[in-house]
Amino acid sequence: MAIHVLGVSGSPREVGATTRLVRAALLGAEAVPDVTTEFVALAGREIHGCTGCGQCAKLGRCVIDDDMQPLYERLVALDSSNADLYNNLGLTLRAQGTRNANGRVTIVAYTPGEEDFTDLNGNSRWDAGETFTDLGQAFRDDNANNTYDPGEFFVPRTGASTCAGGLLGRPNTCDGTWGEADLRAQTVVVFSTTFANFGTRTGSAAQGACARRRSRMAFASCALTNSRCTSSAR
């Protein structure tokens, strides 16, 4: 499957660290079979921010005539994108409604790619004999225990070889060979409630915290009254 990757450097410097980093990432992508790349630098371009006029929703395009216009077609043609380019991401986030009782929402993102490997000869390609990470099926670690548990979401992919699974990978679902795999990353979003919840600390940790607060209050009192603090105030 042919994939086209567009690398965009948003740095104001035409040649700088960001440009070198993006180009290095594209060089790595080119090592993957059937992948083509393209580099774009935004330095020197006149690109204005969104004004919220809403015309994009009516016309299907941005009406701001700036240097961003030639880039829209390239972005639309990408093989992987989560943005509709005009105002919104391709995700829906609820402001209220059904949520986990503890407010924690686990999000996993995944996309087809290649397994990482140790490039011994520096040719940006995997060669026989080079070690690699055999990744299992990507999954969402809902309870953050670094282990797949029945009922957790996973991405179906052929593989039944014995393996540890790798990062966010189901054990024993590898294919035993270097090649295509789902690249994955996970984050946790914590939503607060409308009202604050206060708890009471108990045990030695709570006693230590109270002792430290009393110590700070005692010395603050001494400073304010210009009195002499004894060792008992510590």
Report whether 36 contacts 5 (CB < 8 A).
Answer: yes
Q: In this predicted structure, what is the pLDDT of residue 212?
A: 55
- Checking phi first, is residue 54 left (phi over 0); if not, alpha (psi -120 to 50) or beta? left
Q: In this predicted structure, what is the pLDDT of residue 72?
A: 85
Residue type for position 213: R
pTM score > 0.95 for this model? no
Q: In this predicted structure, what is the pLDDT of residue 31?
A: 78
Give per-residue pLDDT as tens, 114-169.
Answer: 899 999 998 888 999 999 999 999 999 998 899 999 999 999 988 888 999 888 99
Give per-residue pLDDT as tens, 61-103.
Answer: 889 999 989 888 888 777 654 444 444 545 555 555 556 677 7
Assess whether pLDDT exceeds 50 at residue 44.
yes
Give per-residue pLDDT as tens, 10-33.
Answer: 888 888 888 888 888 888 888 777
CB neighbour burial string for 174-210, b if at least 16 within 10 angstroms, e if fewer: bbeebeebbebebeeeeeeeeeeeeeeeeeeeeeeee
CA-CA distance, 99 to 90, in Å (whole number)?
A: 20
Q: In this predicted structure, what is the pLDDT of residue 79?
A: 62
Per-domain residue ranges of the chain: 3-76, 102-198, 208-233
Strand partners, 40: 8
Residue type for position 135: L
Q: Mapping DSSP to helix (H, G, I), strand (E, B) and coil, where does residue 77 land? A: coil
Give per-residue pLDDT as tens, 185-231.
Answer: 898 887 776 666 666 666 555 555 555 555 554 444 444 444 444 44
Q: In this predicted structure, what is the pLDDT of residue 147?
A: 92
Name residue, tokens 């690249």. Answer: 183
Question: Looking at residue 31, what DSSP letter applies?
Answer: T
Residue type for position 64: I
Name residue, tokens 């180009």. Answer: 23
More confident call, 50 vs 145:
145
More confident call, 44 vs 226:
44
Task: List the structure tokens of 67.
Answer: 């240097």
Q: In this predicted structure, what is the pLDDT of residue 2?
A: 77
Q: Mapping DSSP to helix (H, G, I), strand (E, B) and coil, where does residue 22 land? A: helix
